[in-house]
Each structure stands twice: as C-alpha cells, then as structure tokens.
Amino acid sequence: MLRPSMARRIYLFLLVCFCASHALAADTLYQGDSLNSTNTLVSKNGLFTLGFTWLGSAESNASYLGIWYNNDTSHPFWLANRDKPVPDNSGVLALDGSGNMKLTYSGGDLVDFYSSPSSTTNLTAVLEDSGNFALKDTNSGGQLDYLWRSFDYPTDTFLPGMKLGINHASGQTWSLMSWLSDVVPTPAGPFTLEWDPNGKELVIKRRDVIYWTSGPLTSNTSFENIFQNTGLLDYSFINVSNADEDSIMFTVSANQFTPQDQRNFSMWQMKYDGNILDNVTSLTYGGTSCKGNNADAGCEKWSEPSCRSSRNSFELRRGYFVNTVPTKSDDNSSLSISDCKDICWNDCSCSGVTTIGNNGNNTGCTFFYGNFTPDLSGSAIQYYIIVGQVTSGKKKWLLIILAPVGFVSMMGLAGLLWYLRRRRLRASRLVEFRD
C-alpha cells in the first residue's frame, strides 16, 4: 500500500508534469485566466517564457513575474515587479472577467497593468515571438492596437523591436536601469541607458552623471563607438523623430556568415557594473572600459579629488592587501559596486574595494587602505584597485604596484643596486691596489 506522503508526491509529480505540458502549449491568457507560480506561458517559437521566478539572492524568498530567454531564469530580461517582489510563492497574474490585468498575491494587489474602462471587452494577453507580452482587445472592431505591452516598460534589457527614447504622445520615457548587483533587481541600480534624440546617441549615466556615450548614430548600422563588426549578424538601427516620438530601436538578421547554430537574436543588458552586454553574442560596450582617467571610446573622465591624477585608474585584479592595515566596511544595502568605487576614488587613502563577502546580495562595500600584492596564480579574490602612484598633500602617500610595472621596476632597482655594489667593490679594490 502507498503511504499517504508517497501518494501525495506522485500526485504532485503528475500535477507538475501536467502543468509543464500544459504550459508548453500556451502563449495566451484569455479573459478569466490566471497564471500562478506553477505554470508559465511560452511563446510560439519556444524561445521566451513568462512566469514566476526566484532570483539568485540567498537572503530572500522573493519571487518575481518575469520573461526570460532560452529557459534561463537567472536573469529575466523583463520583470513586472522589480520594485515590489512577491514575498513568497503566492503571486498570481490575472486577466479578470471585468477586463483588468493585474499581479496579486496572498496579501492583496501588487501591480495593476491595465484596467478596462468598458465592460464589453474580450481581452487576450499574448507572449509574442519577439519576447513582448502584449494585451489586446479582440472586441475593438478590427482595431488591434496594444492596450498595454511589456516592451513599453523595459527593465534592464533592450531587445529587437523595443524602443529607447521618449513617447511624446504619452509623455513616457523608455530607458533601461541596471540591477543593483548580479542578484538584486531593485530599480535602484546605478546605471541607466538612455537615448539622447538631440545628439542622436545612446548615453549611459551613473547616478545621473554621464558615464559613457555611444557617439552619434553614423549610419543605420553603427554608432561612433559601437562597432558590430563581428559580421556574424547584421544589425540595423532605426531612429524615429516625429511629433509622436523620438526613439531608437534595432533589428538583427542573419547574413551569409551566420553559423547555422547562431540564433538570429540579440539582447543588450545594462549590467550593474556599467557594461552593456549583448547576452547572445557576448559583445560588450561602455562600462568597465571606463576606468576613471580615460576619455577614449566614449568614456567620460571622472571628476577627481586633487589627490587623484590622470595616472590613476581602476583595475580589477586578483591579489592580497597587507593584513595589518585595517579595512573599513559600509553595509548599506543600497550601495552597488560602482558606488563603492566612487567612494573609494574620492577617499585619498583608499586603495581598493570589493562588495564580495558583505552579504549574500553582493551589495555594500569593503574598503582597503594598505599596499596591494598582485597574485599571478589566479586563485586570490578579485578587487577593484586604484593603480598608479599617488601622493596626497595631507594624507600619507601610498604606492600601488602594478604587476608588470612593479616587476620591471624591481628588476631595474635590483640592477642598479648590483651596479652600485660592483662599483663600490671595484672602487674599494682600486683603493686596495693604490694602498
């Protein structure tokens, strides 16, 4: 005889199987339907999934309604409730009988996506083959305009068909905002990606200060600082400038160099470290190429306190800090690694920084002040360190030795000492001879 717990497990197993197979069939919610954490919508082409997911933070059971690509739930390219996580798994996306689409949970309503002004609607919400989740009214007499669509509310990812810019008709701005860390999607991330319709360029801002610019759109295939020259996919940028909107979007298509297994797709994520990463082609722009002192390739030079010079820049290095010099921690969970770098940059005695080890969210900062010893074996922790020799008027000087530069100068110093010693020896021998 089956024990009750065993029977329950088998029942759950069958239920999950049923849901999974059910989910694979459906890309549409009809009026009266709802979706909870046990089911999903999958686009017709099978590439996109809409459902509830948990993100990496070990510190939280929060779940999010998101859309992800290629079955990878760890970083959905769209999130419905990044500012209002569901505290548990009770989230429900409902398209109710009176024509409202909303996200609810055991504690009440969380997000209202759309409220129908009329009761004679026949709403459908479809996860389209582009990754767009679109709400339409089939009763609107042939007029199949979107009532609401996820592409109008981007989170941190730019997909073909999505727009960045300004919708003059609705007054809405389309822009991206990075997550706070690799596991925290809170809309308080340090970086935004915006379209500047006057300069016809893409702009990354860090906490509202310009950090990187793409340079003007030079043709329908490239910006001054964006070269899509892998040749494996054709990119095409479309800028629209009229009374209704000022916007940019892009498309990708296969060409004769596109490998068979390469997807005809691309998505640009504004990462929490300031990079734009094309998660499909692995190309990156902006971000970590901006190290503080450089103004090339679109980077803006950072404003600097007098103790920093054009020789100082941030580098990500493995190694150790002298453990006799105390570190300082700031466990403010609103701080992202780029905020930590900014604080360190403006603190003349700070020589390096990391968020690792503060908490499971990879937020907050630990600052280091001593000398840094690079580790070439690759096993030590990575830190953002400020390289370049620094002398501060008020505070003690500090010297951070770059591995290659350090090696060369050590060799030089050794050579000089050897030369001086030989000269002294020779001199003393000469003295002996003369004696």
Site residues (vs ligand NAG, CB under 6 A): 36-38, 46-47, 57, 59-62, 70-72, 74-75, 122, 124, 129, 138, 184, 186, 217, 219-220, 236, 239-241, 253-254, 264, 277, 279, 282, 332-335, 359, 361, 363
- Tell me the closest approach of the beta carbon of residue 206 to ligand NAG, in angstroms: 12
Measured from the CB atom, is 100 or 264 closer to ligand NAG?
Answer: 264
Q: Across the strands, what pairs with 248?
A: 164, 239
Instruction: Please state, in angstroms and rounded to a whole number, the distance separating the CA atoms of residues 88 and 67.
Output: 18
Q: Looking at 325-402, list the stretches that DSSP marks H as alpha helix, in order from N- to C-terminal side.
A: 337-345
- Tell me the closest approach of the beta carbon of residue 36 to ligand NAG, in angstroms: 4
Residue with tokens 């110093």: 413
Measured from the CB atom, is 60 or 288 closer to ligand NAG?
Answer: 60
Residue with tokens 């005695």: 349
Residue with tokens 């999505």: 162
- Tell me the closest approach of the beta carbon of residue 301 to ligand NAG, in angstroms: 22
Q: How many CB atoms lie within 10 A of CB 28?
A: 14
Evaluate whether 29 touches 50 at the Cβ level (below 8 Å): no
The CA-based angle 280-286-289, given to 5 degrees, is 110
Measured from the CB atom, is 46 or 415 closer to ligand NAG?
Answer: 46
Nearest CA among 151, 124, 120, 122 for reference residue 135: 124
- Tell me the closest approach of the beta carbon of residue 217 to ligand NAG, in angstroms: 4
Residues 6+ apart with CB under 8 A from 373: 319, 320, 321, 322
Q: Helix (H, G, I), strand (E, B), or coil: what is residue 399?
A: coil
Q: How many CB atoms lie within 10 A of CB 408?
A: 11
> Phi then psi for 153, rounded to 5 degrees?
-125, 65
Measured from the CB atom, is 50 or 335 closer to ligand NAG?
Answer: 335
Residue with tokens 């009532």: 147
- Tell me the closest approach of the beta carbon of residue 349 to ligand NAG, in angstroms: 20
Measured from the CB atom, is 221 or 392 closer to ligand NAG?
Answer: 221
Residue in the shown chain whose Cβ atom is closest to ligand NAG: 333
Measured from the CB atom, is 201 or 372 closer to ligand NAG?
Answer: 201
- Tell me the closest approach of the beta carbon of residue 318 to ligand NAG, in angstroms: 21
Measured from the CB atom, is 160 or 370 closer to ligand NAG?
Answer: 160
Measured from the CB atom, is 45 or 170 closer to ligand NAG?
Answer: 45
- Tell me the closest approach of the beta carbon of residue 117 to ligand NAG, in angstroms: 18
Phi-psi region of 66 (alpha: psi -120 to 50; beta: other; left: phi over 0): beta
- Tell me the closest approach of the beta carbon of residue 48 to ligand NAG, in angstroms: 8
Instruction: Please state, in angstroms and rounded to a whole number, the distance separating the CA atoms of residues 166 and 248.
Output: 9
